[in-house]
Structure 1
Amino acid sequence: MNIFTLIAFMVFFSIGAEETCTKITENLHYSCMGRNLSYIPLSIPSSVQKLDFSFNVLKYLQKTVFPVLSFLHLLDLSRCYIKGIENDAFYNVQNLTTLILTGNPITHIGPGCFNTLCNIQRLMLVDVGLTSLQLHMNNLTKLQELKVGTNNIQFMTLPSFMSTFKDFTLLDLHANNISIIKNYHTVVLREMSRNITLILSRNPLLHIEPGAFKGMYLRKLDIRSSFVSVAAQNVGLNALYGLYVKRLIFGKFWDDYKIYLSDTDFLDGLCSIYFQEVYYFIKDKPNQQDNIFRCMINATNVSVKGVLIPNGASMPFYKIKELNLISSHLDILPGKQLSHLHTLEKLVITHNNKVLGVERLVDIPKLQYIDLSSNQITWYFDCCPSLLIGTPQIRYLNLSLNLLVSLSDRGFEGLDYLEILDFHHTRVVGIGFNSYLSNLKYLRYLDVSYSSITFGNIYCFYGLSSLNVLKIAGNNFQRDVSRYIFNNLTSLEHLDMSYCRIVELHPSSFKDLQRLQLLNLSGNKLMILDFLAYSNLNKLTSVYVAKNSITSIPLNVLQKLPTNLSVFDLSSNPIDCSCSQTDLILWIIENQKVLKEPNDIICTMLSANSDFRATDFDVDRCVNKKRITIIILICFLTVIVILSIIVYRFQFYLQYCCILLRGYRSARQQECSYDAFVIFSSYDEVWVMNELVENLENGFPPIQLCLHMRDFQAGKSITSNIIDEGIMGSRKVIVVVSQHFIESAWCRFEFELAQSWFVMERNANIIIIILEDVEEKKMKKMIGLHKHLKTNTYLKWSRDTLSSEILDSAAKSYYCRKTKILHLNF
């Protein structure tokens, strides 16, 4: 492969990579912006309706440039380095309604290039080097908007055929080079519809021929910064006499001429123009003008921005409905000048850079909207009924972004129809500990965010039965006020409690908020979200709990989250990404469409400096670990069960071992208190007492016997008595064997214990007395006793006197000899 083939290969694949356009809407909307393309990619379907092809390279538009796109309505060719447009260039896209050619250095426009666009409604030729409006577009009878701003057009003369364009509504000529407007320049405009917007801002107007706009009806006229000087503006405004315009926008930008005190009549020309709405914008601080409103008194809408309005300036408006005074450098709310304006409906006085004093607004019966935000108001007493006297129709009151407002005991008396009340970022005194809002039953929106309020009264929002939106972010709650403060707000749909230092919320806090759709609890100190599982928040769609202290959320809470939840913000919480939280991690992974910014849910508990995302946690590892743990636990439980069965089955033997081990450890430390421990059945007690005890304890030498019913210590367990008092406390063990002995479990236990003990001691200290004959079959059940009788000498009791005497003497002699031997051993 040679170098040229390699270059061709690389170019081919680089072009192929650039051909891919972004699909906004399948088959309908595509964006190829900034792909360095020189043709329309074949990947664009013929059904496309919107195509953004801006910032590419087309240079010359010909018929072959566009494939057949019969459904294309919007085509954006901004800044595609287009230099020429040939005839029939848009033949294959002739159903366009919007064509944007902004920013192309067009030097050649074919005389018939636009004629195929019979359906075009919006044509944008901004910054394309036009020098005239005489364009060949006879067939564009449906044209509504023509934007030709930032060109080099010198005259605003439209082609005569445009007088037939009945739908035409917008001519944008801003930032051109129009300096003179003659009567014949506006002939076509006067013949067109009365609903046209004309934008002439930033043109260097020197002269307007008087009467050039006489009898013309415009929807809007924008002439901001359209005059080269104050004198030119004064003459130009006077030349606009006879103009009827619904909305007049004028003024100037930063880089324009400055108005001086001597220019006292620079607005006099407004008196000869008929307008309903006037917008006067100035970007610098002009000198004081006393007569600013003199020619605006018949306007219905007056907006003034950046104009210095002196205290006591006259405002004799007759028809005004809306007054906007923005950045007007006021020292005081002009209550005296505004009072008694019976037609005023909306008042906006905002963004004054001075502390604004307050005067009462009296007798404005139609006033519904008051915006006094961003004025540095410090209102210590009697807000707000004293401000609004005789204004019963107030619906909107905005006092946000001021310094301080103190509510009086009258609360909002007389303002019963308020629907929107905004105090955000203004310190409000009184709301937290009083029910000043109780009469506002129509209030729908309340914002007291960051208003330095401490809510200590559970009835703060009492009576607000129509409230839809409540914003109380950045404030505080006393004790458990948050548990009760929202009671009866049954219409609430939006609640913002962010950054309120909340540590815990009771499940009943939101019990009445069954219509709540958005709950914002971000920036608090919450550790648990159990209240979400036990509240009636079935319509909740958005929950924001970002920047709290949540480490885990139990599975039962996750399962009880509202089914229609669409936004759940859990970001910036110290989530515990461990195997104990696999339910939460799985929920996060599976519900990323619901979670807002799921990649911002970081496992901060994993490591102090970790940026490990919860969505990257390996749950399978925990599952395998859990399986191993379960297997080990099952094996352990199995062993425990088996051992329990063994212990239960061989409990006596285990008990023997424990007793023998305990006895063996303490045997050398204990002296014998008895000569013999008698093991017998309670049914043989008469014989033991009358024969055995009588003959041995009362004989010579006397033999001290240990009997369970007489010598065992009270309160001590039977087993302990057997080993301590009986076996270990006696030198010998006498076993009285009878039919009852064989059938007694305790007798068998005592014998086997004694036998095991003496085996450990390696001496035969058991004396067996056969009280009565026992069947061989039953005897064999006690294996230890049966073997003992086979290998050891035993005594047998007989009823005759001779046998009794023999037993007595034999026993005594045996004990005497044994005692003597023991004595010798000691």
Structure 2
Amino acid sequence: MTNRSHQLLSVTVVLAAVQLISGYSFNNCIEDPFSNQQSFNCIRRKEKNMPAIIQDLPRYAINLTISINPIWNITNNSFVGLPNLQYLKIDHNHIRIIDTFAFKDLYQLKSLNMSFNYISELDPFVFQDLRNLTFLSLTNNYLKQLPEGIFSTLLNLNTLIMRQNQMTNFSGIADAVSHLMNLRILDLCFNKLTSLSHLNVSLPKSLTTLYICRNNLFTLGCKQSFLGFIQVLDLSYNPRLHTMAFKGLDLRHVNYLRLRSTSVKVVEFLNISNIRASHVDFSGTGLNNDDLLIELCKLLKRKVKRIPKLGLGINGIENLTNYTLYYCPTITGTLDLSHNNLKSTRCLTFLNKHKYIKSINVEHNHLASLQSCKTQNMVYLKNVEELSYRYNRILSVDSDAFHYTPNVKTLKLNINSIAFLHCKALKGLIRLETLRLDNNLLTDLLKCHFEDNYNLKILNLRNNRISVIFNGTFLSLRNLTTLDLGGNKITYFQPSGLDGLKSLSKFYLDGNNLKQIDTSLHCVFQDTLTVLDLQSNQIRFLNEEISSPFINLSKLSDLKLDGQRPHGLTVLPHTFFRGLHSLKSLYLTNNNIYYLAPDAFDDLTGLRFLTLDNCCVGVTQLQPGVFKNLRNVTKLIVENMGIQNVSKEVFGNLTQLRTLQLNRNVMQSIHVDALESLPNLHYLDIRNTPLSCTCKNSLLQNWTVKNSHVQVVYLYNLLCPHDAKLKFYNFDTKVCYIDLGEYIFLSTAVVILLFTVIPLLYVKLYWKMKYGYYVFRSWFSEQWRILSEKEENCKYDAFISYNSSNEQWVMEQLMPNLEGNGSSFKLCLHHRDFELGRDIVDNIVSAVYSSRKTICVVSRNFLRSEWCSLEIQLASYRLFDEHRDVLLLVFLEEISERQVSSYHRMRKVMLKKTYLQWPGSDCTNPTQAQELFWNQLRRAMRSGSRLETEEKCSEASKEEETGNVETDENYYLLP
């Protein structure tokens, strides 16, 4: 039975033995493989109808995202099949209309996000079933007003976001939310509100955060106590909002107020308002000169002695003198000077009265350098722990530039143009823990740069122009845990370039020019390193005889080798990953590996995640056993590798695999036993693969449609490559159960074989076959048994087999000498004794088995006769197969051994027995010789019917040759 037959039989048995179930795949959605079967994403589909998108989702779905689709209408009862839904996100679609009962029966829904659509109006009852809703976002739509009672049933609503709409009537909004006793956050930014006027309604007491930024407010117009419970109030970017709008308003509970880019005069505002001055963010309030700042500080100091945060960003400040902040209350927390026009900080001498400050932000200014601050008049800010100079234009940092903040823990100098970092620039920063120098123009790093920073834990030097790591550069950084050198031009490390990094856990070297992996890695980091990023370097191997550079990195858990430039890794040495038993994640994407050795991943027994997408050249033949030790891998990405075959021998050992991404490969079929050998598989992506819709995939089709555990991504959208109108999941497989192609092939093969073999058999085995046929016929008619039983009472003494050309000799010589002249033999001759009307073959068989002997009168014409050949075949059968002495050969002519050799059966008889030669007229005494011939023939005819042994035959032959012809029962050869 063929393999195809076995497979078809297996399918039949399985279908008969188990109950058919629905396939675990969805038309337009993907289940998140790590969400415990509860989260579904329906993104970038072409379906315009909401029910059509979600119609096949399971009732147990809890989290659903429907984004970037051409949906324009949410029809009634769209989600009735998902009663357990708790989180629904319908953003970035084309929704314009939401029917009244669109969200019917969603009693469990907690979060609804409909942002970035085209909604211009809402039905007043659209949310009536959403009783447990706590979060609602309508961001970036076209809403102009809210219908009365729109939120009447949303009593558990906590957050309401309606920013980026076209709302103009705040009174309607206030009325809609007034009864929401659990509402805490209301976001109305980016609308067209002109005031906060309202009728006889009030905001719920639970509301603590109100964002009304970027509207057209020119007045507040609300009652004195309207904002009485608000704690966070953002009124920024309302340029028409003036100071007097706050007169008489109760702001006692506000602890953060933003007035950025308004027309509010902060000094005047503080004089007329009951807000605590320390709770106002003064960023963007036009305080761009010393006079205004000093006036503000004096006012603040009259109100409070200490201020936890002073925000002065976006004020256009160009310079700060020693007196600018002198009159301010003591700053105990953060000073924000970001987004100003400062060109120098003058070693922060303007903070000479604020020695308790903890954080200073000078980002987004115009600083060109940080000069040395080791002077007599310097200010020591011993409590500063965080200092940020990001997003400036700093070119150089001089020695002792941070002498004034000796206890700083976080220093941010990133995103500048620093090309010169003085050797002593960071001197004295012994408590520094985080240093950001990324995105600058540094070329050299020296040992002296970090001598005092022995407590440093995080050092980021990404995106500079460093090319070499010199000896001892990091010698002092024994506590460093994270070192980021990515995006530089590093070509090599000097022998002791990495010495001192005793605690390093995360090492980023991606985007450099490394051509090989430094062998010192496994010496320096053998007990500490957990993350090593070598992406986008120039590492390449041309042979497999490379020792592992990771041999002692016993704790390494994350290794990235993606996208080596420009040729990729080319070869992956089979011992490359030797020793990485703790590795959890391995990235090998975008390399041009032309061969993956079967033992390449043998040491990675702890691996959980492996990505090989787009890593190979052309068509990839994965070797059997290449993943044999990866039994702990849960996610495998092998996209766009040119994989031709997915077999059990390759993937069968991935017993813990949950996610398998095979999309964009070239396999035309997948062995079902390979998928069935993955007991924990839950997510299979085979999109954009040319799976053929033929019988070789009939089992795969059945598996994908009927399995209940593995999600086949967008199964019902997979097209047949030869016909885009057909789908893989339902192509016709009925013909596969009667494989006409196979039967036609077998039939054709048999016919061709017969036409080839029959002529050969005819030439070589014609008479054997013909003889076998006749013997079978005779056997079937039980003639063998009958004739054998009558052997002792035979009808004839001899059956004479001769050719018609020898008939004269038979009639004139043989018959008179055996039947006449006193002889008592009875002969069977075909012309005389064959039964008329009977089949000639039956007559021959009957003659042979009705005669004690068969005498073959052999001549050249006899040898050429078909009927004579049949007669001698039958007689020789009795001679050899039945061991009966029944055959006598009489040669009328001299026939050479060469002429007889082509007649296999006769040659065999001649070798087995002696034979008689008729003495012709050319012999010396023909009369005497012929008389002797007849005597010998008569004696042979009288002999017994059992074949004598070869020894007797041999002795008899010798006696005949010597003339001793005493009576015995052997045949003699006449001279």
Quote the offset at 1:556 in angstroms.
1.9
Question: 1:565 maps to which residue?
Answer: 681
Q: Does 1:524 align with 2:524?
A: no
Q: Does 1:544 align with 2:661?
A: yes
Counterparts of 1:302-341 in structure 2, within 5 Å, are 302-313=411-422, 314-316=425-427, 317-333=429-445, 335-341=447-453
Contact 1:122–1:144 (CA under 8 A) maintained in structure 2 = yes
Quote the offset at 1:120 in angstroms.
1.8
Q: Does 1:441 align with 2:558?
A: no
Residues 61-114 of structure 1, C-alpha deviations (whole Å, 9 max, x = no match) = 686554343222222232242233266553332321221212222223236878
Contact 1:424–1:447 (CA under 8 A) maintained in structure 2 = yes
Quote the offset at 1:137 in angstroms.
7.8
Cα distance between partner residues in 2 of 1:114 and 1:270:
54
Cα distance between partner residues in 1 of 2:693 and 2:194:
64
Contact 1:418–1:440 (CA under 8 A) maintained in structure 2 = yes
Question: 1:298 maps to which residue?
Answer: 407
Counterparts of 1:706-721 in structure 2, within 5 Å, are none
Question: 2:330 maps to which residue?
Answer: 242
Q: Does 1:453 align with 2:560?
A: no
2:551 counterpart SS class: coil
Task: Give the letter aligned to residue 149 of structure 1.
Answer: S
Of 152, 173, 176 in structure 2, the residue corresponding to residue 67 of structure 1 is 152
Cα distance between partner residues in 2 of 1:94 and 1:375:
55
2:179 counterpart SS class: helix
Question: 1:424 maps to which residue?
Answer: 535
Question: 1:394 maps to which residue?
Answer: 504
1:307 counterpart SS class: coil
Quote the offset at 1:303 in angstroms.
1.5
Counterparts of 1:246-395 in structure 2, within 5 Å, are 250-251=338-339, 259=366, 275-282=384-391, 285=393, 288=396, 290=398, 293=402, 295-313=404-422, 314-316=425-427, 317-333=429-445, 335-352=447-464, 354-359=465-470, 360-379=473-492, 382=495, 386-395=496-505
Quote the offset at 1:282 in angstroms.
2.0
Cα distance between partner residues in 1 of 2:96 and 2:553:
66
Cα distance between partner residues in 1 of 2:406 and 2:264:
31
Task: Give the letter aligned to residue 74 of structure 1.
Answer: T
Quote the offset at 1:725 in angstroms.
5.4
Contact 1:550–1:573 (CA under 8 A) maintained in structure 2 = yes
2:625 counterpart SS class: helix
1:540 counterpart SS class: coil
Cα distance between partner residues in 2 of 1:405 and 1:595:
41
Contact 1:470–1:495 (CA under 8 A) maintained in structure 2 = yes
Aligned residues: 669
Question: 2:134 maps to which residue?
Answer: 49
Contact 1:533–1:556 (CA under 8 A) maintained in structure 2 = no
2:507 counterpart SS class: strand
Structure 1 residues 629 and 506: alpha-carbon distance in aligned structure 2, compared to 1, 3 A threshold: closer
Quote the offset at 1:464 in angstroms.
1.8
Structure 1 residues 297 and 136: alpha-carbon distance in aligned structure 2, compared to 1, 3 A threshold: farther
Contact 1:547–1:572 (CA under 8 A) maintained in structure 2 = yes
Quote the offset at 1:702 in angstroms.
4.2
Contact 2:562–2:590 (CA under 8 A) maintained in structure 1 = yes
Structure 1 residues 217 and 582: alpha-carbon distance in aligned structure 2, compared to 1, 3 A threshold: farther
Contact 1:373–1:399 (CA under 8 A) maintained in structure 2 = yes
Structure 1 residues 566 and 689: alpha-carbon distance in aligned structure 2, compared to 1, 3 A threshold: same
Counterparts of 1:654-693 in structure 2, within 5 Å, are 659=770, 683=791
Which has the higher relative contact order, 1 or 2, with Cα contacts under 8 A spaced 6 or more apart? 2
Task: Give the letter aligned to residue 424 of structure 1.
Answer: Q
Contact 1:18–1:37 (CA under 8 A) maintained in structure 2 = no
Question: 1:582 maps to which residue?
Answer: 698
Of 72, 81, 84 in structure 1, the residue corresponding to residue 170 of structure 2 is 84
Contact 1:38–1:57 (CA under 8 A) maintained in structure 2 = no
Cα distance between partner residues in 2 of 1:318 and 1:613:
70
Contact 2:646–2:674 (CA under 8 A) maintained in structure 1 = yes
Q: Does 1:125 align with 2:232?
A: no
Counterparts of 1:490-509 in structure 2, within 5 Å, are 490-501=605-616, 503-509=620-626
Residues 748-776 of structure 1, C-alpha deviations (whole Å, 9 max, x = no match) = xxxxxxxxxxxxxxxxxxxxxxxxxxxxx
Question: 1:93 maps to which residue?
Answer: 180
Contact 1:134–1:159 (CA under 8 A) maintained in structure 2 = no
Give me the TM-score of the superposition, normalised by structure 2.
0.57
Cα distance between partner residues in 2 of 1:158 and 1:389:
66
Q: How much identity, in percent, do the aligned residues show?
A: 17
Question: 1:718 maps to which residue?
Answer: none
Quote the offset at 1:506 in angstroms.
3.3
2:733 counterpart SS class: helix
How much is the aligned-residue C-alpha RMSD, in angstroms? 5.5
Task: Give the letter aligned to residue 311 of structure 1.
Answer: F
Question: 2:319 maps to which residue?
Answer: 231
Q: Does 1:102 align with 2:189?
A: yes
1:446 counterpart SS class: strand
Cα distance between partner residues in 1 of 2:693 and 2:368:
70
Task: Give the letter aligned to residue 574 of structure 1.
Answer: P
Structure 2 stretches of 5 or more lacking a match? Answer: 1-74, 77-94, 343-362, 751-765, 775-785, 816-826, 830-843, 885-937, 939-975
2:436 counterpart SS class: strand
Of 624, 628, 631 in structure 2, the residue corresponding to residue 514 of structure 1 is 631
2:214 counterpart SS class: coil
Contact 1:350–1:374 (CA under 8 A) maintained in structure 2 = yes
Task: Give the letter aligned to residue 474 of structure 1.
Answer: N
Structure 1 stretches of 5 or more lacking a match? Answer: 1-11, 641-654, 664-678, 714-720, 747-803, 805-826
Quote the offset at 1:526 in angstroms.
1.6
Contact 2:537–2:563 (CA under 8 A) maintained in structure 1 = yes
